[in-house]
Structure 1
């Protein structure tokens, strides 16, 4: 589980760097993003920084005896996933590319990270 969480963190780190370095390219090429409103460099880069900080927290938290940090670092992805699930419900459960990107890029990584954090925290408490 630790390795899966670290892979997700690496993906978050790369995603955040992509948003920081090429915010307009990210905006234009991420399905569904342009549907949410006009392009805003500041906002895209702010979210990119959140992804980077989250990735660092997950990487650090995935180390032995740091499960509380991992649990804390997994909170933003989980809240982000809840918000995107709510948006998907508002789109009448549309089954399209936007929903697929939401599932693969937001929902699965967020919930796997939270699950991994809870498992690691439980196992650390047993030691």
Structure 2
């Protein structure tokens, strides 16, 4: 389970770096993002920083006796996933590339991270 969290954290770091280093490229090339409004460098980089701190918490949270950090680090992706779920509802459950990116890039990683964190907490794998 630790390895899965570490892989997801690496994905979050890579996404964060993409957002921080090439925010306009990220905005233009991530399906659905440009549909949400005009480009805003400040906003893209802010979200990139949130992903980065969440990933750092995940890396820290898989250490012994740090599972609460992992749970806390999982909150941002879960809240982000809830927001994107409601956006999908607002799009009448469209099954398109935007929905696929939402599912694979936001929903699955967020809920998998939170699920693993809660399971680790319950089973005391990281006391």
The TM-score by the shorter chain falls in which range? over 0.9
What residue number does 2:89 align with?
A: 89
Q: Is the 8 A contact 1:2 1:62 kept in 2?
A: yes
1:61 aligns with 2:58: no
Q: Secondary structure at the match of 1:64?
A: coil
For structure 1, the 5+ residue unaligned runs are none
Count of paired positions: 127
TM-score by length of 2: 0.97
Deviations 1:14-56, CA, capped at 9 Å, x for gaps: 1001100000000000000000000000000000000000000
In structure 1, distance between residues paired with 2:125 and 2:41:
43
Deviations 1:50-109, CA, capped at 9 Å, x for gaps: 000000001100112111110011001000000000000000000000000000000000
TM-score by length of 1: 0.97
Q: Is the 8 A contact 2:67 2:120 kept in 1?
A: yes
